Structure formats: C-alpha cells, structure tokens
Structure 1
C-alpha cells in the first residue's frame, strides 16, 4: 500500500469513527434528572439561569412556609422530588445537573431529604433539606424551585434556588416566595431567645413559652407597675395615632435594682401582658446576637427586645479603655431600628451606676429608668401570701415581716419553700407514728395490723397548713451563720461587721427565669 492509499484509509476510518460517535450521541438517552428539568423549562441545560438566595439556619422553617404558600398559589398539584448520589450536599443544583448530563451517572432522581424544624415552644414541622419542584413564575413561565437546609459537613445556612430559562422569571419567583415567607413568619408573636448550638457552633433561635401572670402577682410599690406599663404597653396601644402626629414609637426601659428584687419577674409580666407582640430575650453570651435580634424585632413589630444584665456588655467606656465591641454593637442595634418602629428595648441591671451614659443620649435607647426596690413592710407581707398560693396560712406574719427587713422577693420564695418542707416532714413523721401505733393496737386486739397505715393519714399534699413554727424554722435556717452564702444570693438583710467580709452580688444569671422562675447570681468576696 502506497502512502496515498494509507492516507485515504486513515481519513475513511476517522470519518467512520466520527459518524459512529455522532450516532451514539444521538441514540444516548438524556438522564432522567436532566430531562425532567430541561423538559419543564423547554431549554438546553447550558441556557438555564440559576438565582439563589441564602438565609440563616434558623430561617429554614420560614423558607419552607414561604415556598409552600407560593406553590399553593401557582401550582397546588406540584410534587417534590429529590436527588440521589454521593456528594450532592456539596454541589449546587446547576453543577449536579451538569454532572448528570455528562453521563457520569453520579446523580439521579431520588427521594426528597427532609428535616424537622421548630415552629413553637412545643410544635415542629417537616422541612425540605434537599429537593426540587416544578412550578411556574408569577407571570406563568415554567420555573424550578430547589430548597436546601444545612447539610452535614456543609455551610450552616438555608437556601432557595430558582432555575428558569429567563432571569426575570427566576427573580420574580424568588421575590414572591420571599414576600410570602415574611407573611407566614413562624416567629411572629412568639417569645424567642438566641442560643448557641453544639452543632457546628450555629446560632439558633429558640422558642420559649409565654408566661401567664396577673398584675396582682407582681409585688411592687404603688404606681411603679403602672409607670412601666404606660411606657411599654400604653405607647404601643396608641401607635397609629402617634405615627399620625409624627411622634417616634421606639422606646427603651431600664429596670435596675438589687439582685432578687423582681426585675425579671416584672419583665415576665410584661411578656405575658403583650400577647400580640414578638418578644426576643437576650441573656448571657447570647447578647452577641443583638444585631440579629434588632433586625428580627424590626421585621416582626410590634416587638420587645429584652437584654438581661446589660451591664455585662454596656459598661461605661471609662471602665474599658481598650473599647467594648459588644457595647458598640448594642448601640448600633438600638439606633438601627427606625424611630417609627413599634419596638421596645427592655434592659435590666443590678448596677445602673456603671452603665454607658450614651444609652440615654438618644430617644429610643433608654427613655425611662425605673428602680425595682427591695419590698417594704406591706410588700413583704404580700410576697409571703403570694408565694403561699393555695396553702393554708395559720400563722401570724407580722414577726416574719419584721425580721426580714431588707430581704428580696427571691428570699421570700425560698422561705416559703423551706416552710413547706418543714410542714411535709412534720406531716410525714406524724403519719409514720400513727401507722406504727395502729399496727401495735391491731396486734393487741388480735386483728392484725393491715399495712400499718395510720388511720388519720391524709392524701399527699392535701390540706397542708403552714404554722408559725414552720415559718420560724425556715427563717431560722436562712438567717443562720451556715446560710451566709444563701443570704447573699437571695438578698437577705444585715451583715455583722465582726464576721468575714460580706458577699457582694455582681450580676444576675437567670437560667430558669422564663420557665420556672428560679434565679441564681454571680458572687464574689470583697468589702
């Protein structure tokens, strides 16, 4: 074969291979995953436009609600489908489709991935962690919506992706889903708190139960609670008329006083009183999320942002020459909420004297400061009756009231608990003695002793009576030298100068204040 023949053969083989390749390409079926998307959009994969918006992890339930509302409006019969294949949590939807289109068979249609998200203190909903749905844009053009929740080993965020042949259709779909997301916001009207999560260190929003408390359960000097309510609740009730007259609605309230006097108790009453408002509680390290909290409050107004022990972050700059980033974040957050927003900032502190003066510089930061004092004589008697609740008080309260001058509400709560314990121990001892006596009598009478129960034993907890002896026993325990630490924590009276240096409470921490009402404090030794 001469060189010319070899050249012709080579060209013929090349043409044959090219024709065979083209024939195979034409014969190869488009993967079902790609065909479902491109067939719905009526365009080639290379022309598909992708528009994505990312949200915080804790917005996942809202994102699902907004998407569900969108589908109910534009394609109520649409069904979600998922993607199977290793590594799908790391790829965006366009890359997944591109890989599938190349025939690698790495991705294919599969089951939808679901997760569970909270939508209330005791309610949850199923949310789509990874899935797609075929629907239509507000204008009627075909689009595909994809949702993603936080993925294992992925970014802690939630996403909505809209695929379309035209960008304007994708944007319009995303925008309407976003509007519906806010319209169906699961956080509106709830009591919320930011907290840290061990899962990748995420910041999460937690639902808290709204307290139920009557005004007569708040023991304060005459007029104090009325003043607080006028500033927090009253302004909100006149919101529309105040706006009409060009007046600002944003306001700030500072509750200050010794630990245990009832600052948090008063806040809990306000939370229960304002049933139509969203409440965001910031305590401890969660105050670092104050910017996010302010943004939520602005979005969900009417709203209240509670900052417990604000002196921990809002100490005057003269105490921290190197600067305090959290202080500036707090001031920026308070200023960032518009003056016409129906948002109240409620701050509590044990140490009003160390607070940053700039908190009062502008309207809407702190407009009203109210001291929550230790209870007077009438207040102490009222607290004893309040914490006794449904128990029968067969005691003279005057000696207890006189002996507890300077004590706080927390002190009386613990005093009643100990009195109840004393009564229960006495009641139990009496029942045991009665049971033993009954058993002995039965033996003498030749009738046996049954199970040894005393004839006069009452059902557990029934008819418990608190006497002078029970209250005096409890008070003696709490005022004893062994109870010095408890007295400091709960706020009892005087200190003997001949004793060791007193305990000084430097700040409240309230792990149970929004659930069971308990509270503890940070304590340090010093003059």
Structure 2
C-alpha cells in the first residue's frame, strides 16, 4: 500500500469525519449523551463549550519527564481514553466538542507505552489519555497527555478546567515537578536523530568505570586536566562565593588513537554525580538543546567529540546558514559563567579550530595535547593491556620497536599477541615470539594502512631484526 503525505492524510481524515457525522445523524444519534463527555463534564461541572484548555508542548525526549511530573502531581491516577477516527489530528477540547455535538468519539481506554529512565530501566508512560485531578487551589481539572507522533513533533500536556487560573496553576505545578523529578539528572546521555521524522532522541548510556591508573598520559597531564574540570566542581560553592566563574572549556587535541576519548571516559567516571551529555557528528546540531539541558541539570559535562569534522563539513551548517562550529561556540557562551558546566572538546586537528577559538576567546580556557606515548608511556601501556594475561616477554624490545605508535596500536598489539599464544599452545602466556609475530602481522606489506588507522606514524615499522627467540 502506497504511503500518503501529511496534507493528504489531513484531507482524508476531514472527509471521513464528515461521513461519520452524517451517518451519526442519519441513525438518530444527534443529541444522544456521550459517555466520554459525561466522564469529563461530570468532573468539571461545565459543558465543553465552557471549558478552558491550557497546553504546553515539549520535545519528544521530555515525555518521560512529563509523565514523572504528572505522576508526582496526581493523588489517585485513573487514566481513561477515547476511541474514534481522527484522534491524532484533534486536541482534547475539540475531541470533547465533537463528541458532544456529533458523537464522533467514544469513551475508551488510555493508550500506554514505555520510555527509558536509564541505560537498563524503563517506565510506563501515557501516550494518549485523560485523568481527573484537582488544581492547587482546589478546583476540578482534567489532565490530558499526548505523545509525539506523525502529525505532532512534540509531546504535550493539556489541562482542562472551568477557569483559566485553575488550568494554568495545575500546568505550572506539573512543570515544576517535572524538574524536581527529572530522570536525566546525574545520567550519561547522548543526543541522536530518530529514524522517524528526523526527531531528536536522548539515549541513556552506562557510566564507564575508568580509573586514573587506566589513563596513560605524560607526567602531570592528567593532573592538569583534573584540576581544570574536577576540582572546579568540587569547589564550586567556594568559587562562586569568591566571585569566580564556574563554566570552563577544555580542548583535548592530538593524533587519532592517543587516548583523548579514553581521557574523557575517565572524567565521566570521576564525576559520578554529574550529568553528562555527549554530542558527536550530526548530533552536534542539537548543541542549543544540550547546552540548555546542561544548565538545567548542573553540575554537567558536555562532551563534543571530533569537533574538527564540524568545522570542515558544510553539510553540518546550522539552520541559520552559519557554520555549526560558530553556533557551537555561541551556545557555549550562552550557558553563563555562573553555571557549573564543563565543555570538553576533542579534535585530531587543532589547527582547524585555532582561528575560530581565537576569534571567540573565553569559550575554551585550557588546551591540552594528548601526544603519542613516549618509551615510558608505551611500557605502562603494555603493562595495562597485558594485566589480564601472563606476560613473560621482555618489554624492552617491544617498547623500542613500537616507537611512534599510539595507545590504540599497543592495545591491538597485545590482543594479537594473546591470539598468537592461544593458537600456539591454547594458553595466554606471552613470550617474545608472540609479540614479534603480532608486530610483523600488523606491519607486513600492505598492512601499513593498519598503522595509519590505529594512529601510528606510517613511516615507522615494527623492528624486523628483533630477535623473536625466548
């Protein structure tokens, strides 16, 4: 069956509505009391023509928070719904009006779905339904919830009441409770794009368990990064009292595979109670939403990975025609200095960003290079990645033969050495010959591309003269 467009669907729904109304009148249904209308008017005490509706829309990813706000507000939830054609095209007040005049809609069950509340948890949400409630001032109200759908890019709350004040007070209190019970607070979140209608999505990610001992950087570099990001969070109240700003920007730059993302994972692990928002690639167009969310849920960490790709890809320009990089920097500035928000940018090519950052000073206040590891660093990496196996090889030749490689290269080298040992003896006892075989395999002939993909200097190669005897 061929799909139809939105405009055609609206016209079809309108025509069907007219047919149903005519059929209802022909069958003598005009004036027959509607159970749906009676359910609402019996609570509010006024007919649909005298009801007032106060509404507010939210991005689709806020539906779970809207549900939490309503759940916190209700004392006795008792959701009910409606049935009939065209429900997705009408707001609740129009549905009630049409039900009263033409009998188009009937009382039915509320429509429910699920929404995530964490990396491995979810909760039930109302996708379309109504519930009786009382306003903060004691007046009867009816609360309606609607999920985002094909004809509406937003989720929405409607509050029906006999007075605008009662409806507004109820809506405002629910929005306040949304923020009190915000499910995103303290979570690791990633913005993405839905496969349906291009809507933005928020995905929950597990917080990575990375220790300081797992991060191999030159002496003093990790301490510098921690002072800039973690210590500011620890002393935020004292810094504000002293008139100092909290917002900070960190740029991690260096060749691919040197550990920039791994360092970010350590920061995420260290800031255990901090809300983290990850943006990469096309999802960076949601920087305004991410920045607003970060300010709302502070203390927060916003991670922008591979920012150089944004700076050079014209397909990622903002909606107003400006390069997305400039929109990103403006969003960083708009958070405000008093907000306990850290922005961490990573890039393989700092030169691409240098001019833009220089023209907008203050967005990034610390740039740290993550270089290829030196000999001491490579020795520590061998120990780190080999800690789950029995390494009986002499690390010296391996360290010397891997000059110019990255952390990613060393990690892959150890894995291939383990595979070589398993093939040979079925054990994970590593000898010199296993590292020699792994290095030769990674560097052999056309496999120089492997070195490039792992961030190593393509001009270097594993030492072919290394003695592979134990």
Normalising by structure 2, we get a TM-score of 0.88
- Please give the secondary structure, in 1, of the residue aligned with 2:123: strand
User: CA contact under 8 A between 1:387 and 1:413: conserved in structure 2?
Assistant: yes
Distance 1:147 1:483, change over 3 A: same
Which residue of structure 2 lines up, in the alignment, with residue 468 of structure 1?
Answer: 432
Give the match for residue 77 of structure 1: 76
> Which ranges of structure 1 fall in alignment gaps of 5 or more residues?
1-23, 429-462, 498-527
Distance 1:141 1:364 in 2: 51
2:43 to 34, 40, 44: 40
The structure whose Rg is larger is: 1
Alignment partner of 1:182 out of 176, 179, 182? 179
* Correspondence 1:49 to 2:47: no
User: Which residue pairs with 1:31 in the alignment?
Assistant: 34
Q: d(CA) in 2 for partners of 1:136 and 1:215?
A: 53
Q: Which residue of 2 aligns with 1:394?
A: 392
Partner-residue secondary structure (3-state), 2:80: strand
Q: Please, which runs of 5 or more residues in structure 2 have no aligned partner?
A: 1-27, 462-470
Q: How far apart are the structure 1 equivalents of 2:313 and 2:122?
A: 42
Please give the secondary structure, in 2, of the residue aligned with 1:188. Answer: coil
Partner of 2:455: 491
Q: Distance in 2 between matches of 1:483 and 1:186?
A: 47
Deviation, 1:115, is 1.2
Pick from 426, 437, 443: which aligns with 1:479?
A: 443
How many pairs align? 430
Secondary structure of 1:34's partner? helix
Structure 2 counterpart of 1:425, from 417, 423, 426: 423
1:161 aligns with 2:158: yes
Q: How many angstroms does 1:105 deviate by? A: 2.6
Whole-angstrom distance in 2 between the partners of 1:56 and 1:375: 44
| Aligned twin of 2:93 | 94
Write the deviation string for residues 34-70 of structure 1: whole angstroms up to 9, x where unpaired.
1121221112221100011000010010000000001
Q: Partner residue of 2:294? A: 297
SS at match of 1:355: helix
Map of 1:238 onto structure 2? 235
Kindly state the Cα deviation for residue 286 of structure 1 after the two structures are TM-superposed: 0.8
Q: Is the 8 A contact 2:189 2:204 kept in 1?
A: yes
How big is the shift at 1:486?
0.3
Residue 361 (structure 1) shift: 5.4
Give per-residue Cα distances to partners, 1:95-123, cap 9 Å, x unaligned. 10011101x33211101101111111111
Cα distance change of structure 1 residues 327 and 425 upon mapping to structure 2, 3 Å threshold: same
Q: How far 1:30 sits from its partner (Å)?
A: 2.6
CA drift at 1:325: 2.6
Q: Where do residues 63-462 of structure 1 align in structure 2 (5 Å cutoff)?
A: 63-71=66-74, 76-102=75-101, 104-151=102-149, 153-314=150-311, 324-360=322-358, 364-428=362-426
Aligned to 1:439: none
Q: CA 1:316–1:127 in structure 2 vs 1: closer, same or farther (change >3 Å)?
A: closer
Alpha carbons of 1:360 and 1:177: their partners in 2 closer, same or farther (altered >3 Å)?
Answer: farther
> In angstroms, what is the RMSD of aligned CA positions?
2.1
TM-score, normalised via structure 1 length: 0.79
Contact 1:315 1:355 in 2 (8 A): no
Distance 1:301 1:43, change over 3 A: same
Indicate if the aligned counterparts of 2:80 and 2:130 stay in contact, CA closer than 8 A: yes
Where does residue 12 of structure 1 map in the other structure? Answer: none
